[in-house]
Amino acid sequence: MLWVLLALACAAAVLLAVVLVRAALFKPGEGKNTPGEAACIEYKRAVEHLSQMVRVPTVSSRNPQEVDEGAFEDFRRLLEALYPRVTAACPRERIGPSGLLYYWKGKQPGAPAVLMAHYDVVPPGDLTGWQKPPFCGELDADGVLWGRGTLDTKGTLCGILEAAEALLEQGYIPEHDVYFSFSGDEEIMGPSAPAIVDVLEQRGIHPALVLDEGGAIVEGAFPGVKEKTAVVGICEKGQLDVELSIKSKGGHTSAPPVKTPVAALARAVTRVEKRPFPAVLTPAARDMFNILGRRSSFGMKLIFANLWLFLPLLKKICTASGGEMNALMRTTCCFTRMEGSQAANAIPTEARMTANLRLVRGDSMDDCEAYLRRVIDDPDITVTRIQGNDASPYSPADGPAWELVRSAIGETWPEAVTAPYMMMACSDSRHFCRISEHVLRFSAMELSKEERGLIHGLNERVPAEKVGRAAEFFYRVLKKC
């Protein structure tokens, strides 16, 4: 028995030594960023231009009767007026219901770059909750620009065109072709971006880089890391809306049956929340942990440097904590709507519930539906797919496209560490995976947790300085294309 204990003690000591040594050697490999040369961006002009864009209420809707087509046409005319050099030098095509495709011819042949944004916005919601009108485009005394679209994503669109206009003023011509792809129906998952991809595919165009909205410069988003982090999406989750429904004979609530529809759905929700989808180490999470884990506290390094040992523990931590880290590791399911009886004293003849799932690569829509049915385990509940799409392919977090974006970030925000991540939301960029293996997602702004929460929320706004900084980033991207 003593020899067994000694052997176990030696094994534990060796294991501890391996874990500690691996953590001690788990250090950053890259050097510090170097600020880039000055980008000739007029901050004041950029803010004024974005202010004008915000004042045009380009609210999209799946109901055509709720769409002000005149506002969308006004916005397209506004771009021509604000950016005369881009208008003159970059022919613009109207593709699909609202797609705009600009073409900037380069000096020599080669795979082009595509910079993307969308100019439609979500409805403002409860107007009484806004401190300023949602389409005022007002710059307040603190230098903050207010209005729907400042963050999502007229600010990005403005940054792209400000950079192009500034470069054209200098007589600059990119080395290779550049396309600007803007849609006006991204928020409703509309057909304009797919139509643009169809056109490019028919022309045999396979971009070396596609850059769309996505990550940002953030702080405190990764455990143990104090430095600012530029997270760049190398993929995006799929999404799936499903309806859970159950029928009954209805009746008066004074004598309810043992199983009522709403209670049955409530049990289903409880079962799903108690048994979340399995956590997996996706390529995006692995790459992110490898870069940011090296800059985390020593306690967190012990985990990230030894995932071969601590991955089960990390999965449990993510499951318990929820939020972004949890979403990075698994398909998530969030119940959002419930419908039953119209009267308080009547049992509904049918009750429904809607859930929104965000799918990691490898979990198909069919797989997710089957998982829900298995976990719910109630033959009376019907699971019906409403709509959705599978997750996008992964783009490599290395190579020329990644390095172009990483270096432009480093020159614009020298204090930031660039790392890949998996984008939780959906964007138009997923359609471009058909024609490019290098689709990256970065919104080119430093955003606090509060500011990120303003996207699709009340009181959307952005500090004016960040508008100009975004244009600087795109200026440097275009110089490298």
Residue 428 CA to residue 409 CA, distance in Å, equals: 22
- The set of residues, in sequence order, having a beta carbon less than 8 Å from that of 171 and lying 6+ positions away, is none
Write out pLDDT tens, residues 328-358: 899 999 999 999 988 999 999 999 999 999 9
Question: Does 252 score more than 90 pLDDT?
Answer: no
What is the mean pLDDT of the segment spanning 62-85? 97
Would you place residue 1 in the very low, low, confident or very high pLDDT band (cuts 50, 70, 90)?
Answer: low
* Alpha-carbon distances, residue 413 vs 163, 215, 407, 422 (angstroms): 17, 14, 10, 21
Domains of the chain: 43-235+393-480 (3.40.630.10), 246-389 (3.30.70)
Tokens at 208, concatenated = 């070396």
Least trusted range by pLDDT, from 19-33, 66-80, 224-238, 271-285: 19-33
Characterise 95 by phi-psi region: left (phi > 0), alpha (psi -120 to 50), beta (else): beta
Contact in structure between 159 and 470 (CB atoms under 8 Å): yes
Q: What is the mean pLDDT of the chain?
A: 94
> Which residue has tokens 């829900």?
372
What is the mean pLDDT of the segment spanning 186-210? 97
* Alpha-carbon distances, residue 108 vs 42, 104, 105, 119, 404 (angstroms): 29, 12, 9, 31, 18
pLDDT of residue 34: 78
Residue 206 CA to residue 268 CA, distance in Å, equals: 46
Residue 184 CA to residue 250 CA, distance in Å, equals: 44
Residue 56 CA to residue 68 CA, distance in Å, equals: 10
Residue 167 CA to residue 299 CA, distance in Å, equals: 47
> Which residue has tokens 């990119």?
174
